[in-house]
Amino acid sequence: GAVVSQHPSWVICKSGTSVKIECRSLDFQATTMFWYRQFPKKSLMLMATSNEGSKATYEQGVEKDKFLINHASLTLSTLTVTSAHPEDSSFYICSARDQRQGVGSPLHFGNGTRLTVT
Amino acid sequence: EDKVVQSPLSLVVHEGDTVTLNCSYEVTNFRSLLWYKQEKKAPTFLFMLTSSGIEKKSGRLSSILDKKELFSILNITATQTGDSAVYLCAVESSQGAQKLVFGQGTRLTINP
């Protein structure tokens, strides 16, 4: 089945620093990947849609200068949390769809990255 | 704005019980409804429903969609402690980039 790999699985950083999270589709190509954020005991909130070769599409209320997304290739998207603050602490999950399975195939999720900003 | 509402938000039952989880939705240009199970990390895919009235089944889990009343249910029979998880319902619109909108989730706890 389609596998999405996310790295790192957890990271602790100091306020003001930047953190990069990688999302890779291991056995398929994805022109589109999705980045979600999840607070404790809450559901997944879509942050942005990452598009290979073009700019990401951000959801309303998500700061594009704060959460930089780069979809460098058909198997890699990165999310960089810039100048992190404690309120950015959260669980970040990426997802992608295996295009070989067609437009109606389900999204597959990475294992997520737990970010803690001190 | 697309919206997904799940109920109950939390449910505690004994092993062997049968549970029904509910999901209602409002979405522009509905494409599909999906159920995921989330334990400690990433959600794992359970079912994708696109047509009304056709039950999807996998072992003790089953799900059905009603596109007229805009809801879906997820049934789990003969529950086991390993079924304890958060169950997420999501809908996908055929517009745009086919992103998923998630409900709040139902936290299911199965006690031995």
**pLDDT tens for each residue of B15-67:** 999 999 999 999 888 999 999 999 988 899 999 999 999 999 999 999 999 99
Q: Give residue-wise pLDDT tens across range A76-95.
A: 999 999 999 999 999 999 99
Q: Identify any residues that bridge with B99 across adjacent strands, giving them in sequence order.
A: none
What was the pLDDT predicted at A53?
86
Residue B98 pLDDT more than 80?
no
Q: What angle do CA B110, B72, A99 make, to 5 degrees?
A: 100
Residues of A with CB below 8 A from B2's CB?
none
Task: Nearest by CB to A57, from B90, B97, B100: name it.
Answer: B97
Across the range A34-52, mean pLDDT stands at: 90
What pLDDT, on a 0 to 100 scale, did the predictor assign at position A42?
82
A98 torsion bin: left (phi>0), alpha (psi -120 to 50), beta (else): beta
Average pLDDT of the residues of chain A: 91
Q: Compute the half-sphere exposure of residue B67: CA atoms within 13 Å on the CB side of its CA.
A: 14
Please name the residues in contact with B57: beta carbons below 8 A apart, sequence gap of 6 or more: none
A106 in contact with B, Cβ within 8 Å: yes
Categorize the per-residue pLDDT at A97 as very low, low, confident or very high, splitting at 50, 70 and 90.
confident
Q: Which of B31, B34, B103 sits opposite A43 (nearest CB)?
A: B103
- Residue B19's pLDDT is what? 98
Q: Is the pLDDT of residue A2 over 70?
A: no
Rounded to an integer, what distance in angstroms lies between the CA atom of residue A114 and that of residue A4?
16
**pLDDT mean over B82-101:** 87
**A60 is written with which tokens?**
């309303």
pLDDT of amino acid B97: 64
